């Protein structure tokens, strides 16, 4: 039997690329929140299972794990990919608590407690891999979307916490930190990013694609980094480098 994987937020963008990459080797549950049409097209294309859920709620997280338990005897890989940008970009001096809570509940609280549920299940078999998809925004400050930056910085610490706690259980935990990736999330500013990249923003002078992140997940899923729990993989064209 193929190993099993859950990929959250898989109907579009990075999550879709990851689900597509894993579908040949894993039995994949691909989650979505609102875009059923996109999820069904992924299912038709790859044969993955799809599950509508909202990971920002405890009920949604529990329903997802129950959905997986009813279908598979174990869970081998969890990819925490689901995330949202703030509905509107506001300077941090003008930002609202409502949008802050919305972003943090989905981007940080959701994967933090979904991982708790998945880790308990994985620990029963003494094996498993967990991946958090964070962002360069874990360390690069954008004052007009502070909620997003705070959520990703918190998620980076969640990786360290879970990696430390789960090492003795045989469960490995990793962070993949994408840079500027061509997705719906950056559609409004894609032209600006392309101009900045052409002007030298990145050492590797192209925008990233979802497939770039998916290949990093592939390396983890195949066990190539199993002695590197807690590792951060920058998939960012070299953005993280500092040079004079």
CATH code for the domain of 129: 3.40.50.720
* 150 falls within a domain: yes
Across-strand partners of 28?
Answer: 5
For the chain, strand residue ranges (E) read 4-7, 27-32, 49-52, 77-80, 128-133, 171-178, 232-235
* 177 falls within a domain: yes
* 240 falls within a domain: no
**Residue 140's pLDDT is what?**
96
* 99 falls within a domain: yes
* 241 falls within a domain: no
* 244 falls within a domain: no
Task: Using CA atoms of 174, 220, 80, 145 in order, give the dihedral in degrees to the nearest 10.
Answer: 60
3-state SS, residue 27: strand
Q: Is 148 known to be catalytic?
A: yes
Instruction: Give the burial class of 9: count Cβ atoms within 10 A of its Cβ; 0-12 exposed, 13-18 middle, 19 or more buried.
Output: buried
Low-confidence ranges of the chain (pLDDT < 50): none
75-94 in b/e burial notation, b at 16+ Cβ within 10 A?
bbbbbbbbbbbbeebbeeee
pLDDT digits (tens, 9 = 90+) for 10-65: 999 999 999 999 999 999 999 999 889 999 999 999 999 999 999 999 999 999 99
Catalytic residue among 32, 112, 139, 148: 148
Structure tokens at 213: 């992140």
* 171 falls within a domain: yes
Residues near 189 by beta carbon (within 8 Å), at least 6 away in sequence: none
> DSSP readout, 42-103?
HHHHH--EEEE--TTSHHHHHHHHHHHHHH-S---EEEE------SS---TTT--HHHHHHH
Residues near 96 by beta carbon (within 8 Å), at least 6 away in sequence: 90
Model pTM score: 0.96
**Residue 240's pLDDT is what?**
96
* 191 falls within a domain: yes
Number of domains in the chain: 1
Q: Which domain range does residue 21 map to?
A: 4-235
**Residue 127's pLDDT is what?**
98
Q: Which of 138, 137, 142 is nearest to 160 (CA)?
A: 138
3-state SS, residue 233: strand
Helix (H) or strand (E) holding 37: helix 36-46
Q: Which residue has the tokens 């500027």?
A: 180
Q: Which residue has the tokens 């729990």?
A: 229
Between the alpha carbon of residue 21 and those of residues 46, 61, 96, 214, 215, the distances in Å are 9, 24, 38, 6, 7
């Amino acid at each position: 039997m193929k190993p099993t994987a859950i990929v959250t937020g898989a109907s579009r963008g990075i999550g879709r690329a990851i689900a597509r990459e894993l579908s040949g080797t894993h039995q994949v549950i691909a989650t979505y929140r609102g875009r059923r049409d996109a999820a069904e097209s992924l299912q038709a294309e790859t044969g993955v299972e799809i599950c509508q859920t909202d990971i920002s709620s405890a009920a949604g997280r529990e329903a997802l794990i129950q959905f997986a338990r009813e279908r598979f005897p174990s869970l081998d890989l969890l990819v925490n990919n689901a995330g949202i940008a703030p509905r509107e970009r506001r300077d941090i001096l003008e930002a609202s608590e409502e949008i802050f809570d919305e972003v943090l509940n989905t981007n940080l609280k959701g994967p933090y407690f979904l991982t708790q549920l998945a880790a308990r299940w994985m620990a029963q078999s003494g094996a498993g891999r967990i991946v958090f998809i964070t962002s360069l925004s874990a360390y690069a400050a954008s004052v007009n979307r502070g909620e997003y930056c705070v959520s990703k910085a918190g998620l980076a610490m969640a990786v360290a916490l879970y990696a430390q706690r789960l090492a003795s259980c045989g469960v490995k935990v990793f962070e993949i930190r994408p840079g500027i990736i061509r997705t719906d999330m950056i559609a409004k500013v894609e032209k600006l990013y392309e101009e900045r990249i052409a002007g030298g923003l990145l050492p590797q002078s192209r925008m990233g694609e979802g497939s770039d992140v998916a290949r990093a997940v592939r390396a983890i899923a195949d066990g190539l980094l199993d002695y590197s729990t807690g590792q951060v993989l920058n998939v960012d064209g070299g953005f993280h480098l500092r040079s004079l």
